[in-house]
Amino acid sequence: MATSNTGGWQLTTSTYANGGRMETVGDDGKVTATVNNDATKAALANLKAMRWEDNSLGSTFDYDPPDALVTALVKWAHAKGATIVCLDVIKSNIRATRFYERHRFRPSGTETPRENDGRVEVRMQLTIG
């Protein structure tokens, strides 16, 4: 999963999707990594299950990691009976928005400011099934 140095980004994305954060900023401005948290543990457990339990990631998913991870996520969600897959993207992150649009995700119309920094997240969704 860490092909092309994307493993950390993939884990961070999954952690944020689970409601967690990878760092905290103290009152003194000091930044502390917070990778040992419930959201990151849940992300790792989910990735393990997708690879080794239901094999939705398959054995060659790391050849094009970002695309393969999205494809695996959609495949997994479909197998679980989901009809819509949603994710949030920072509004100013045009590169990420275009990436998900290539995978047929579209803005849902929901925009939410993040509590920790006020940046706006746009909800994107893909109808499946």
- Asked if residues 57 and 25 have their Cβ atoms less than 8 Å apart, the reply is no
Query: Residue 70 and residue 40: Cα distance in Å, rounded?
Result: 18
pLDDT surpassing 90 at residue 43: no
Mean pLDDT of 112-121: 93
Q: Which amino acid is at 101?
A: E
Query: Residue 11 and residue 87: Cα distance in Å, rounded?
Result: 15
pLDDT on residue 4 = 61
pTM of the model: 0.53
pLDDT on residue 111 = 96
Q: How far is CA 115 from CA 43, 89, 111, in A?
A: 21, 14, 13
Query: Residue 82 and residue 75: Cα distance in Å, rounded?
Result: 10
Q: How confident is the model at residue 21 (pLDDT cuts 50, 70, 90)?
A: confident
